[in-house]
Amino acid sequence: QQKVQQSPESLIVPEGGMASLNCTSSDRNVDYFWWYRQHSGKSPKMLMSIFSNGEKEEGRFTVHLNKASLHTSLHIRDSQPSDSALYLCAARDSNYQLIWGSGTKLIIKP
């Protein structure tokens, strides 16, 4: 079983809607989390990172982190077709290595 679980595996959201993606670690030794976005046929690019409990907002994107439950979520408001991509969650473990989830495929329907 993967140590970083992402849900859902895929998600269809209408244009203008809210997309909510989840990521939970079963490794109690992780602390920092990142969200990367990978458009089809492209390489992953860092979208947002979060290290402290609470919320972080950048434009239409908001990330939440609950360190006690090792759960982070990414919320995209006013979703655009250009947001359609694979979203990857990564967590740093005690060896400073990144553990990656298998991703959520987000499709924004015009």
Stretches 11-19, 38-46, 56-64, 74-82: which one binds another protein (CB under 8 A)?
A: 38-46
Q: Could you say whether residue 52 binds another protein (CB under 8 A)?
A: no
Distance CA 56, CA 65 (A): 9
Partners of 110 in the β-ladder: none
Sign for the CA dihedral angle at 60, 76, 49, 42 comes to negative
Distance CA 24, CA 74 (A): 12
Residue selected from 16, 42, 55, 57 as contacting another protein according to rule CB under 8 A:
42
Q: Could you say whether residue 66 binds another protein (CB under 8 A)?
A: no
Residue selected from 7, 60, 77, 98 as contacting another protein according to rule CB under 8 A:
98
CB of 102 to another protein, least distance (A): 4
Residue selected from 46, 54, 66, 81 as contacting another protein according to rule CB under 8 A:
46
Between β-strands 104-109 and 10-14, what pairing exists: parallel, antiparallel or unpaired?
Answer: parallel
